[in-house]
Amino acid sequence: MALEIFSTSHLNGFLSIRPDEIKLLLRRLYRNSSRDFARVELKSKFSELTFNIMMRMIAGKRYYGGDDEEELSNNEEAKEFWEIVRQAFEYSGASYPGDFLPVLRWIDYRSFEKNLGILYKKWTLSCKV
């Protein structure tokens, strides 16, 4: 599966996404600073750019952008998706004591596995294309 995703032909199929996302970023930066000088924190802008490129390649949609309807037409869906991503990162960095003490897994200590199941259901529902 990984070989197919990262194959040259597959990546070349998404070649137009990168310049398109860069144009959107530059347009947004221009709009914010066209009247006067503006300080911009580029780290977050490049994170947005990278995330949007990846999500357009995976899901075919932009999930991060400005407040404009023009930039992000499915704002409610994007907010819901970002909440799911935030929770997934929260759980991915968590150390689960049930991994070390199996008795805690039987009682589902802190509802860890239940919450992962709920997160999985939300993820699968939001990623339907």
The reported pLDDT for the residue numbered 8 is 83
Q: How is the chain split into domains, by residue range?
A: 1-67, 74-129
**d(Cα 95, Cα 112) in Å, to the nearest integer?**
10
Average predicted confidence (pLDDT) for the chain: 80
User: Coil, strand, or helix at residue 105?
Assistant: helix
Angle 112-85-71 from CA coordinates, rounded to 5°: 160
The reported pLDDT for the residue numbered 69 is 44
pLDDT tens digit string along 57-86?
A: 877 877 776 545 445 555 677 778 778 878
| Mean pLDDT value of segment 36-44 | 85
| Mean pLDDT value of segment 22-32 | 89
**d(Cα 51, Cα 43) in Å, to the nearest integer?**
12
DSSP summary character for residue 63? -
pLDDT tens digit string along 95-111?
A: 788 888 888 888 888 88
Tell me the HSE value of 40 on the side-chain side, using a 13 A CA sphere. Answer: 17
The set of long-range contacts for 76-84, using a CB threshold of 8 Å and a minimum separation of 24, is 77/126, 80/122, 80/126, 81/126, 84/119, 84/122, 84/123, 84/126
